[in-house]
């Protein structure tokens, strides 16, 4: 078996380079090419770019960067920060980690698909249906024991997400439908399904709020225990540990199980996997089921951890599935990478949110600045080349080309500017 893996690896390496076709091959190429330096540098660049946008509105860049950094709450880690500043930092860091909790999981939903050669853009839809299921279970069954209720809600969300992911997997396996298109469509179907459920007069609408399109509230017993900060002021719940535990599960799944091995093989080269006797379609379906479950649990942790209900406009404006793609790319589809990228992205989102960069800018404008910053971050994450070029002092396109024959690399260099 190891011989086969070796051969698959070689084949994948041959087909890598910038023109690599399968996402998994691209992933392998990127992980090999850049290690951890490039993702970190990319994040720093994104941070700088975020500040530049604020700078463009005529504010002091240094104080801007400082306020973004303090907004992330990461200054809590500095021992010399004390007093009121420390408590603000603590609550900011709680926010960062609250954001990171689902981001890690949605990132994993994208990552696992990537490893199997699929591009799961459906994180958004899987998250949305997971949220619908979690809020329904969490707000019903009021008499249940707390632990059981929480587990039930999380499992229900995982099942709903798995169903949503599984549809794309089945369509891909049975009819060859492109998963990029089908998952985008499933995202929108999920959003309208959510709006249908919670709109005024919808089947799951909260009858006590006759003029607000919102779900029922999660009952006290189904809320995740808060262990840091105040439970009434959005403290940090144990959801972050569930998220981290699932990252470990993901690592084991990928590295230690037969399914993980099959997924990676299918991702490298579906044809070779088929020749080796693997059922490619079946693997795709199982991978998408698991991806969907990750996305569903992400929503459950949000709903049970701090949101406690679901507004239709929250469903319609949530962008977490797309952040998840960025997290997966930045995290190089590994478990540890996703955790790091999830926390980093959570920090960026918290640090640049309207709460933290309102440096005398009109507060209504700040939210749009935040969108612009996020756009630039995602653009930067979409490509390694900027960072690679910076690393190489602008003279080479990057380590990537070392893998190619020298002559070829030379030719590429000439074209790259």
Partner 1 sequence: MSVGTVAVAPARAVSPKQIAIAGLILGALAWVITVPPIGVRGMAPSIVLAVLAVCAGAWSAANGERKLGLEAILIALFAVAGAVASANSGVATLGSVFTWSALVAATLRYATPLLFAALGGLISERSGVINVGLEGQMLMGCFWGIYGADLLHSWVWGLLVGMIAGGALGVVHAFFSIHLRANQIVSGFGINFLALGITGYFLEYHYGPNGTPLNISMVPNVKIPLIQHIGFFGTAFGDANLMTWIGIALVPTLTYFLFRTRGGLRLRSVGEKPRAADTVGVSVVRIRYAAVIASGMFAALGGAYLSVGFVGSFSNDMTNGRGFIGLAAMIFGKWKPWGALWACLLFGLGSALSDRVSGVNQTLGTLFEALPYVLTLVAVAGLVGRSRPPAADGIPYVRE
Least distance CB 222 / partner 1 (angstroms): 27
Q: b/e string for 290-299 if b means 16 or more Cβ within 10 A? A: bbbbbbbbbb
Continuous segment of H or E residues that includes residue 227: strand 226-228
Contact segment (CB under 8 A) with partner 1 among 7-15, 62-70, 73-81, 409-417 equals 409-417
Cβ(15)–Cβ(268) below 8 Å: no
Minimum CB distance to partner 1 smaller for 5 or for 413: 413
Position 359 contacts partner 1 (CB under 8 A):
no
List residues bridging with 226 in a β-sheet.
237
Position 52 contacts partner 1 (CB under 8 A):
no
Name the nearest CA neighbour of 242 among 368, 147, 161, 315: 147
Minimum CB distance to partner 1 smaller for 159 or for 380: 380
Position 249 contacts partner 1 (CB under 8 A):
no
Contact segment (CB under 8 A) with partner 1 among 133-141, 167-175, 214-222, 351-359 equals 167-175
Contact segment (CB under 8 A) with partner 1 among 14-22, 70-78, 158-166, 225-233 equals 14-22
Going by C-beta distance under 8 Å and a sequence separation of 6 or more, which residues neighbour residue 75? 69, 81, 85, 89
Position 259 contacts partner 1 (CB under 8 A):
no
Position 184 contacts partner 1 (CB under 8 A):
yes
Token pair listed for 321: 């599935």
Least distance CB 189 / partner 1 (angstroms): 5
Position 402 contacts partner 1 (CB under 8 A):
no
Minimum CB distance to partner 1 smaller for 215 or for 370: 370
Name the nearest CA neighbour of 159 among 301, 302, 292: 292
Q: Which of 32, 202, 221, 281 binds partner 1 (CB under 8 A)?
A: 202
Continuous segment of H or E residues that includes residue 236: strand 236-237
Position 371 contacts partner 1 (CB under 8 A):
yes
Phi-psi region of 304 (alpha: psi -120 to 50; beta: other; left: phi over 0): alpha
Position 19 contacts partner 1 (CB under 8 A):
yes
What is d(CA 160, CA 138) in angstroms, rounded to the nearest whole number? 14
Minimum CB distance to partner 1 smaller for 88 or for 199: 199
Going by C-beta distance under 8 Å and a sequence separation of 6 or more, which residues neighbour residue 103? 298, 320, 323, 324, 327, 341, 342, 345, 346
Contact segment (CB under 8 A) with partner 1 among 81-89, 177-185, 244-252, 343-351 equals 177-185
Q: Which of 37, 178, 257, 336 binds partner 1 (CB under 8 A)?
A: 178
Q: Which of 40, 144, 163, 185 binds partner 1 (CB under 8 A)?
A: 185
What is d(CA 6, CA 275) in angstroms, rounded to the nearest whole number? 15
Minimum CB distance to partner 1 smaller for 110 or for 300: 110
Quote the DSSP letter at residue 311.
B
Position 241 contacts partner 1 (CB under 8 A):
no
What is d(CA 190, CA 182) in angstroms, rounded to the nearest whole number? 12
How many Cβ atoms sit within 10 Å of the Cβ of residue 62? 10
Position 144 contacts partner 1 (CB under 8 A):
no
For residues 313-352, which are near partner 1 according to CB under 8 A? 317, 319, 322, 325-326, 329
Minimum CB distance to partner 1 smaller for 75 or for 187: 187
Q: What are phi and psi of 24, to 5 degrees?
A: -65, -40
How many Cβ atoms sit within 10 Å of the Cβ of residue 67? 19
Position 311 contacts partner 1 (CB under 8 A):
no
Total site size for partner 1, rule CB under 8 A: 63
Q: What are phi and psi of 311, to 5 degrees?
A: -90, 150
> 389 to each of 34, 39, 130, 379, how far by Cα in Å?
12, 13, 41, 16
Least distance CB 283 / partner 1 (angstroms): 19
Position 120 contacts partner 1 (CB under 8 A):
no
Contact segment (CB under 8 A) with partner 1 among 33-41, 231-239, 282-290, 362-370 equals 362-370
In the complex, the residues that contact partner 1 under the rule CB under 8 A are 17-19, 21, 26, 119, 121, 167, 171, 174-178, 180-182, 184-186, 188-189, 192-193, 195-196, 199-202, 317, 319, 322, 325-326, 329, 362, 364-365, 367-383, 385-386, 408, 411-412, 415-416
């Amino acid at each position: 078996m190891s011989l086969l893996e070796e051969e698959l690896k070689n084949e994948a390496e041959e087909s890598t380079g910038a023109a690599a076709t399968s996402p998994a091959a691209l992933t392998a190429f990127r992980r090999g090419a850049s290690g951890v330096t490039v993702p970190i540098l990319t994040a720093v660049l994104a941070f700088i770019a975020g500040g530049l946008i604020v700078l463009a509105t005529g504010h002091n860049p240094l104080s801007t960067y400082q306020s973004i950094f303090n907004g992330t709450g990461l200054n809590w880690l500095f021992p010399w920060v004390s007093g009121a500043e420390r408590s603000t930092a603590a609550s900011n860091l709680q926010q960062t980690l609250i954001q990171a909790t689902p981001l890690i999981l949605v990132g994993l939903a994208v990552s696992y698909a990537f490893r199997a050669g699929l591009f799961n853009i459906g994180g958004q839809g899987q998250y949305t249906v997971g949220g619908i299921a979690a809020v329904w279970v969490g707000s019903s069954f009021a008499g249940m024991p707390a632990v059981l209720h929480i587990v039930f809600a999380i499992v229900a969300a995982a099942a709903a997400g798995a169903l949503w992911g599984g549809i794309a997997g089945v369509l891909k396996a049975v009819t060859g439908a492109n998963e990029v298109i089908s998952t985008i469509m499933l995202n929108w179907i999920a959003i309208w399904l959510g709006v249908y459920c919670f709109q005024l007069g919808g089947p799951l609408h909260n009858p006590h709020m006759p003029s607000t399109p919102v779900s029922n509230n999660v009952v006290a017993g189904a809320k995740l225990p808060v262990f840091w900060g105040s439970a009434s002021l959005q403290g940090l719940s144990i959801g972050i540990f569930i998220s981290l535990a699932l990252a470990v599960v993901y690592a084991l799944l990928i590295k230690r199980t037969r399914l993980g091995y099959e997924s990676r093989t299918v991702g490298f080269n579906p044809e070779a996997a088929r020749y080796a006797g693997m059922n490619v379609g079946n693997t795709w379906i199982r991978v998408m089921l698991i991806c969907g479950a990750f996305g569903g649990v992400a929503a459950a942790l949000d709903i049970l951890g701090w949101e406690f209900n679901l507004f239709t406009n929250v469903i319609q404006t949530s962008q977490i599935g797309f952040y998840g793609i960025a997290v997966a790319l930045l995290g190089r589809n590994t478990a540890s990478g996703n955790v790091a990228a999830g926390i980093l992205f959570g920090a960026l989102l918290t640090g640049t949110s309207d709460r933290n960069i309102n440096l005398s800018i009109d507060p209504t404008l700040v939210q749009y600045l935040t969108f612009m910053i996020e756009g630039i971050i995602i653009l930067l994450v979409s490509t390694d080349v900027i960072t690679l070029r910076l690393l190489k002092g602008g003279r080479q396109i990057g380590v990537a080309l070392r893998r190619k024959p020298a002559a070829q690399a030379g030719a590429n260099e000439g074209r790259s500017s």
